[in-house]
Structure 1
Amino acid sequence: MTSHRILSWTPAAIVFDCDGTLMDTERHWELARELTIRDFGIGVGPDFAQRTKGLHYTECGALMAQDAERPDLGEQLTERLLSRFRTLAAEAPRTMPGAQELVVNAAKFAPLAVASNCPLEVVEESLATADLRRYFDHIVVPGGAVRPKPHPDIYLAAARYCGAPAADALAVEDSLCGVQAATRAGLRVLGVGPWPGEETASMVDLWVAALDEPRIFEWASERVARQLPS
């Protein structure tokens, strides 16, 4: 990995994924998928959870229907999946370790955006619950000509809205789907979470177990200090 491309650099903008990166909601998506599958009494492939991590929820619903060989259920599965997730996320909101501290510090030296495959209202709700919404200048989700991850569209739009060339922006991601989107858009990438395996790790500039890792805190703090009057 080329960690110096992150740790010795000050980005012109920082774009965060939401689920599993800022908010501890990946567990909610996992449970929502399990409950939806149980609700409809269908079967899916053994690697379904891994294949759907980070995907747009409509694509996840479509994959459920495909695996179950029930294409007629695609729309119902998608609606139930989102409903289940929103209920679970509202009941137990929680930020990921170090996310709040990094956002607060990063907002002092760079414009911030969120790039998410979730519906806009879900992202807004999550960030508002965590008292993080005020730190983000833009939230970008799929819609219109903007395709979901792993397409690069969301990250290209987020960097543009922040007034930064993609090559000068940093993406913070936790999934292969998101990393693919960010790298295809040309952003540098900080990956976070359990070790993802060589395929995903080889695509990022730096992978950390959590955003509260000391070198990430120090990196952000140093850049905040540079903004202070001498």
Structure 2
Amino acid sequence: MSHKPQAVLWDMDGTLVDTEPYWMAAETALVESFGGTWSHEQAIQLVGNGLLDSARMLRDAGVDMAPDAIVAHLTEEVRTALATQGVPFRPGARELLRDLQAAGIRTALVTMSLRRMARSVVDLMDFDAFEHIVAGDDAEHPKPHPAPYLQAADLLGIDIADALVIEDSVTGLRSGLASGAVALGVPHMIPLDDAGAHALWPTLEGRTAGDIADVFSSVRTQQREEALR
């Protein structure tokens, strides 16, 4: 019988919603407005990073703006894209969220995007999907530091060991793993084969709360057995 987690902690960009193309388009336009060039390879390096870290890389590419101003500009550009082009949810994400709720498994959103960006996404969902949001402007330290996921566990009033994290980036998985949660990788823009995830799924489509419980139970059982050796 599966032992289910008390909570599932979700990354947003690339895991819940496919906003990475919006971010990449905004980055490219901004760099080019300062006469620079921005490649797909450079954009990929920013996936999962804290926004201020990304802003510093954009400054290195020629954007002559303060890091905070870069973050504010990109956030508004992506929010505009969400409002005009829609929220592209990742396959199976909404369905899994609903199934987790039905199974009594709590949920929180842990993103390095600003809170107003996270609220733009969550407010466009047709149900109350998350109990709490930890956003980039809430976190004491950005991913890959464990702080964002530890903050989410504190808000939920649970031990992080009783949580499972879903991530699409190496940076995010490092954060989840360092926190002590079970870490499930669902790759999107970048491969995660060597990222150390406890489990990898190619997609969330067709997945259920039972599948989440199976992963959590399997990992924790294996860890207990290894500790006894």
> Do they fold alike, i.e. is TM over 0.5?
yes
TM-score (norm 2): 0.82
Give 1:86 deviation, angstroms. 1.5
Contact 1:156 1:166 in 2 (8 A): yes
Q: 1:217 aligns with which of 208, 211, 215?
A: 208
Q: 2:145 aligns with which of 143, 148, 151?
A: 151
Q: 1:41 aligns with which of 32, 35, 39?
A: 35
- Higher mean alpha-carbon deviation, 81-90 vs 120-129, is at 81-90
Matched, 1:126 2:121: yes
Q: 2:20 aligns with which of 15, 18, 26?
A: 26
The whole-number CA distance in structure 2 between the counterparts of 1:37 and 1:158 is: 34
The whole-number CA distance in structure 2 between the counterparts of 1:52 and 1:137 is: 28
Give 1:75 deviation, angstroms. 4.5
- Higher mean alpha-carbon deviation, 73-82 vs 149-158, is at 73-82
Give 1:152 deviation, angstroms. 0.9
The whole-number CA distance in structure 1 between the counterparts of 2:67 and 2:12 is: 25
SS of 1:211 mapped into structure 2: coil
Identity %: 27
Matched, 1:193 2:184: no
Matched, 1:81 2:80: no
Contact 2:14 2:20 in 1 (8 A): yes
SS of 2:21 mapped into structure 1: helix
Give 1:8 deviation, angstroms. 4.4
Q: Which residue of 2 aligns with 1:170?
A: 164
Give 1:71 deviation, angstroms. 6.0
Name the count of aligned residue pairs: 211
The whole-number CA distance in structure 1 between the counterparts of 2:56 and 2:173 is: 22
The whole-number CA distance in structure 2 between the counterparts of 1:147 and 1:45 is: 28
Deviations 1:90-119 (A, max 9, x none): 222121100011000112321110001011
The whole-number CA distance in structure 2 between the counterparts of 1:159 and 1:51 is: 28
Give 1:34 deviation, angstroms. 1.4
Letter in 2 for 1:129: L
**Alignment RMSD (CA, Å):** 2.5
* Residues 104, 52 of structure 1: alpha-carbon distance in 2 compared, 3 angstrom cutoff: same
Letter in 1 for 2:77: R
SS of 1:171 mapped into structure 2: strand
Contact 2:28 2:38 in 1 (8 A): no
Consecutive unaligned residues of structure 2, counting only runs of 5 or more, are: 215-229
